[in-house]
């Protein structure tokens, strides 16, 4: 069967997405692969399609149990013989799977890396034919990556124990060069075909807000996303607890997830969210890598994460099924301190040397700086992210908060001079201060701290009192971003002059985009007409019944985007039904009749 046919027959998709086709061809030719594609781009398809076309079994190494369960559920629903072996199964269940492997009953097996060290599993792998070993989330092999997993270092040893070398295909969403090199080196990929696809996710809308009151801002955002699954990321467990409680107190349907909860509760809360029993998940970054829930249409960051890699991965959990989704950051300068704390106090990891630790920390501070710039830029947010990942995007995307904001280019030459001379004055006094305090001095705030440091006696104290504090901070952020000033991370985050600072005092003309007003005008494909919406609700009910019967999340039966297409196109014949994106042969056979009947009923009623 040709790969296009496999794609439609099992997965119901009509076309390959960017990168998928080339990767699959290369696998089928026997080449090793390194696929670097953003979250939600469709990496699974790159190995699942060829796995079905090759003789033997594909072993997929995956870091998380929840991820394996989700993938295997989806595969089984699509009619693919797949299974996982991990600690969520009883010993008897594990043995059953192993004996089925010997019988050649599966095409795809998911395991955690630790499994590869177990005698029993090594014996199976040595006996049966293995066509390919896929390493999902391959950045876990690198200490530079943000999810280093020592178990991943053992993969190469396992492969060496096999009597022949299968194809090795590694996939990740992490694009940095050092991680890429680590993956090739540590997994010993053999002259791999490397595919880096564009990182752009067109269906995601990005926005940064700097609200006075984050909680109110969050409620406003949630109100615009009624009846949609949303994730709210917070940087600490404490914030998760607070936000979740306040949301519930205010009548929102929220649950929580962080590493401080016991296993049972975490599992339950996660399931409630995945199975659409609960709409809003408030979580730390512990929630996510395993979450392939496809109908999340909003990801809010209540706090800024510590780098753009994490941000894009977390935000990228929105809109996986291709539907339009919003990724909104609620930034405050305090978030920078929290992020800093996490960088300075990393999890103990005995496999990392002191020297390495210092190098990692320096790099982390550099990444934090870029993350902060993202939050304060008035340029296109999408362009900022894509440039960070080494791409050359257009200047404007017309689908982010900044592109949609009515900015006015404003001359800031004089303001910049005031700010810079204030920095010099403060230094002359033998003091130094961070961004926030600097703004307060310029504004002329009557803070104790300013008095104590004797900063209310310098000539630039209060020199910008005619401007709002917020605006002063924006201009300081801009000067830092453009390199006219810098934040000394190693020295209490104080603002310091740079080699470029003199240019400002020499009269260099500067202008920046400052906000006039914000408009929220984004049109979405997730919006249905009210008639379509009524059908959507009915199909959802049908889907839920089926999901409960099969004990899988609803989106494993049909994704929301698939249901929406049904509501728009209203298929009532087999071929029309098969023509809907996300409907493969297995699903047509299992659910087609029922869904088409419901659609037909709806059509009759509405005539």
- d(CA 114, CA 119) in angstroms, rounded, equals 11
Q: Given the DSSP bridges, would you call strands 405-411 and 511-518 parallel, antiparallel or unpaired?
A: antiparallel
State the binding partner of 289 from Mg ion, ligand ADP, none, CB within 5 to 8 A by kind: none
Secondary structure letter of residue 212 according to DSSP:
S
Per CB under 6 A, the list member of 73, 294, 494, 562 interacting with ligand ADP is 294
We find the least distance from the C-beta atom of residue 307 to ligand ADP, in angstroms, to be 18
Structure tokens belonging to residue 402: 């900044």
Structure tokens belonging to residue 524: 């979405």
What would the x/- binding string for ligand ADP be over residues 534 to 573, using CB under 6 A?
-------------------------x--------------
**Closest C-alpha among 251, 270, 274 to residue 261:** 270
Pick between residue 193 and residue 424 the one whose CB is nearest to ligand ADP. 193
We find the least distance from the C-beta atom of residue 33 to Mg ion, in angstroms, to be 14
We find the least distance from the C-beta atom of residue 267 to Mg ion, in angstroms, to be 20
Q: Which stretch binds ligand ADP (CB under 6 A): 9-17, 98-106, 260-268, 532-540?
A: 9-17
Structure tokens belonging to residue 372: 């902060």
Per CB under 6 A, the list member of 32, 309, 314, 321 interacting with ligand ADP is 321
- Please, are residues 40 and 184 in contact by the beta-carbon 8 Å criterion? no
Q: Is residue 195 near ligand ADP by the rule CB under 6 A?
A: no
Q: Is residue 107 near ligand ADP by the rule CB under 6 A?
A: no
Per CB under 6 A, the list member of 3, 6, 34, 44 interacting with ligand ADP is 44
Q: Is residue 16 near ligand ADP by the rule CB under 6 A?
A: yes
How far, in Å, are 525, 526, 564 from residue 529 at the CA level?
Answer: 11, 10, 11
Q: Is residue 37 near ligand ADP by the rule CB under 6 A?
A: yes
Footprint of Mg ion on 41-100 (CB under 5 A) = 43
- Please, are residues 450 and 496 in contact by the beta-carbon 8 Å criterion? no
Q: Is the dihedral of CA 23, 27, 28, 30 positive or negative?
A: positive
Q: Is residue 318 near ligand ADP by the rule CB under 6 A?
A: no
We find the least distance from the C-beta atom of residue 428 to ligand ADP, in angstroms, to be 53
We find the least distance from the C-beta atom of residue 331 to ligand ADP, in angstroms, to be 25
Pick between residue 41 and residue 485 the one whose CB is nearest to ligand ADP. 41
Pick between residue 19 and residue 401 the one whose CB is nearest to Mg ion. 19
Pick between residue 276 and residue 292 the one whose CB is nearest to ligand ADP. 292
- d(CA 442, CA 434) in angstroms, rounded, equals 12
Q: Is residue 327 near ligand ADP by the rule CB under 6 A?
A: no
Strands of 362-421, DSSP E: 405-411
- Please, are residues 99 and 83 in contact by the beta-carbon 8 Å criterion? no
Q: Which stretch binds ligand ADP (CB under 6 A): 38-46, 81-89, 180-188, 210-218?
A: 38-46
Q: Is residue 228 near ligand ADP by the rule CB under 6 A?
A: no
Footprint of Mg ion on 30-49 (CB under 5 A) = 43
Give the binding-site size for ligand ADP (rule: CB under 6 A). Answer: 18
How far, in Å, are 370, 439, 566 from residue 473 at the CA level?
Answer: 17, 6, 49
Strands of 97-250, DSSP E: 108-111, 130-135, 167-172, 193-196, 204-209, 229-233
- Please, are residues 315 and 299 in contact by the beta-carbon 8 Å criterion? yes
State the binding partner of 77 from ligand ADP, Mg ion, none, CB within 5 to 8 A by kind: none
Per CB under 6 A, the list member of 32, 147, 276, 292 interacting with ligand ADP is 292
What's CA 584's distance to the chain center, in Å?
Answer: 27
Structure tokens belonging to residue 254: 């929220």
Q: Is residue 69 near ligand ADP by the rule CB under 6 A?
A: no
- Please, are residues 316 and 38 in contact by the beta-carbon 8 Å criterion? yes
How far, in Å, are 231, 318, 510, 555 from residue 293 at the CA level?
Answer: 11, 9, 46, 7
* Phi, psi for residue 567 in degrees, rounded to 5: -65, -35
Please identify the residue of the shown chain whose CB is closest to the bound ligand ADP. 42
Enumerate binding residues for Mg ion (CB under 5 A): 43
Enumerate binding residues for ligand ADP (CB under 6 A): 13, 15-17, 20, 37, 39-45, 292, 294, 320-321, 559
């Amino acid at each position: 069967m040709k790969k296009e046919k496999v794609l439609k027959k099992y997965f119901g998709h009509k076309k390959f997405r960017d990168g998928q086709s080339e990767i699959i061809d290369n696998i089928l030719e026997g080449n090793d692969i390194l696929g670097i594609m953003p979250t939600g781009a469709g990496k699974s398809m790159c190995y699942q399609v060829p796995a079905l076309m090759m003789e033997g079994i594909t072993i997929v190494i995956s870091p998380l149990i929840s991820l394996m369960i989700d993938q295997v559920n989806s595969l089984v629903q699509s009619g693919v013989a797949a299974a996982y072996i991990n600690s969520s199964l009883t010993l008897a269940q594990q043995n059953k799977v192993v004996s089925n492997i010997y019988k050649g009953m599966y095409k795809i097996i998911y395991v955690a890396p630790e499994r590869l060290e177990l005698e029993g599993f090594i014996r199976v792998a040595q006996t049966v034919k293995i066509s390919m070993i896929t390493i999902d989330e391959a950045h876990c092999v690198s200490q530079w990556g943000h999810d280093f997993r020592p178990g991943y270092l053992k993969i190469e040893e396992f492969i060496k124990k096999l009597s022949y070398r299968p194809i090795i295909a590694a996939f990740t969403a992490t694009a940095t060069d050092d991680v890429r090199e680590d993956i090739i080196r540590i997994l010993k990929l053999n002259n791999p075909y490397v595919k880096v696809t564009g990182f752009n996710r067109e269906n995601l809308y990005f926005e940064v807000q700097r609200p006075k009151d984050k909680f109110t801002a969050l409620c406003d955002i949630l109100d615009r996303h009624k009846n949609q699954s949303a994730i709210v990321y917070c940087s600490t467990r404490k914030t998760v607890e607070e936000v979740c409680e306040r949301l519930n107190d205010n009548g929102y349907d929220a649950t929580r997830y962080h590493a401080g909860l016991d296993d049972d509760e975490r599992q339950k809360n996660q399931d409630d969210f995945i199975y659409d029993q609960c709409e809003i998940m408030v979580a730390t970054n512990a929630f996510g890598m395993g979450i392939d829930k496809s109908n999340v249409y909003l990801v809010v960051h209540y706090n800024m994460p510590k780098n753009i890699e994490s941000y894009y991965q977390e935000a990228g959990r929105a809109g996986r099924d291709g539907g339009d989704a919003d990724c909104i950051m609620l930034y405050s300068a305090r978030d920078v301190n929290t992020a800093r704390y996490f960088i300075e106090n990393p999890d103990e990891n005995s496999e990392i040397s002191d020297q390495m630790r210092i190098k990692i920390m320096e790099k982390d501070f550099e990444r934090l700086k870029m993350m902060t710039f993202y939050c304060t830029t008035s340029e296109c947010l999408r362009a900022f992210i894509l440039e960070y990942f080494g791409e050359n995007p257009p200047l404007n995307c017309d689908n982010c908060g900044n592109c949609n904001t009515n900015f006015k280019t404003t001359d800031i030459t004089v303001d910049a001079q005031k700010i810079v001379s204030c920095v010099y004055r403060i230094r002359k006094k033998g003091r130094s201060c961070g961004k926030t305090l600097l703004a307060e001095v310029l504004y002329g705030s009557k803070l104790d701290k300013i008095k104590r440091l004797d900063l209310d006696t310098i000539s630039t104290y209060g020199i910008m009192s005619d401007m709002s504090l917020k605006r002063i901070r924006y201009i300081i952020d801009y000067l830092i971003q453009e390199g006219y000033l810098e934040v000394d991370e190693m020295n209490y985050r104080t603002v310091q002059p740079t080699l470029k600072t003199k240019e400002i005092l020499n009269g260099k003309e500067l202008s920046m985009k400052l906000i006039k007003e914000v408009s929220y005008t984004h049109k979405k494909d997730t919006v249905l007409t009210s008639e379509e919406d009524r059908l959507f609700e009915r199909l959802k009910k049908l889907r839920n019944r089926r999901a409960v019967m099969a004990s899988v999340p609803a989106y494993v039966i049909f994704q929301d985007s698939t249901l929406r297409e049904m509501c728009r196109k209203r298929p009532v014949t087999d071929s029309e039904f098969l023509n809907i994106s996300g409907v493969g042969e297995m699903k047509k056979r299992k659910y087609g009749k029922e869904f088409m009947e419901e659609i037909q009923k709806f059509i009759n009623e509405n005539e």
